[in-house]
Amino acid sequence: MAVALLAEIPGLTRDRYERVVTAVNKTGTPSGALLHAAGPIEDGYRVIEIWDSQQAADAFYRSAEYAAATADLNTEPKLLMTWPVEGLDSGSGWRSLI
């Protein structure tokens, strides 16, 4: 089942955020990623992602590619919540994810 993740990354700047997402997307969208959106909040960034499964998200966050892209961050993302996703419209029309 698809899953949404909501996280905050304290102390993350726009420049560093852009370097991380550029690095992890260098060879294309990570496998299983359906949506990624992020923006600044007071003292950091908030991120929402939708993955086609929890296993796909876990595999990405355990990957060498993610580790290399985030190696010089001095903070860890704070996972606020996750929830199952049954439908998604990412700009090309609604579709069921069940």
DSSP string, 4-55: EEEEEEET--HHHHHHHHHHHTTTSSPTTEEEEEEEEETTEEEEEEEES-HH
All structural domains of the chain, each given as residue ranges with its CATH number in brackets, are 2-86 (3.30.70.100)
Separation between Cα atoms, residue 47 and residue 18, nearest integer Å: 13
Q: What is the DSSP string of 7-19?
A: EEEET--HHHHHH
Overall pTM > 0.75: yes
25-37 pLDDT, tens digit per residue, is 998 999 999 999 9
Q: Is the pLDDT of residue 91 over 90?
A: no
Report, as an integer, the average pLDDT of 64-85: 93
- Please name the residue that has the structure tokens 């991120």: 47
The pLDDT of residue 98 is 87
Token pair of 26 as six digits? 């260098």
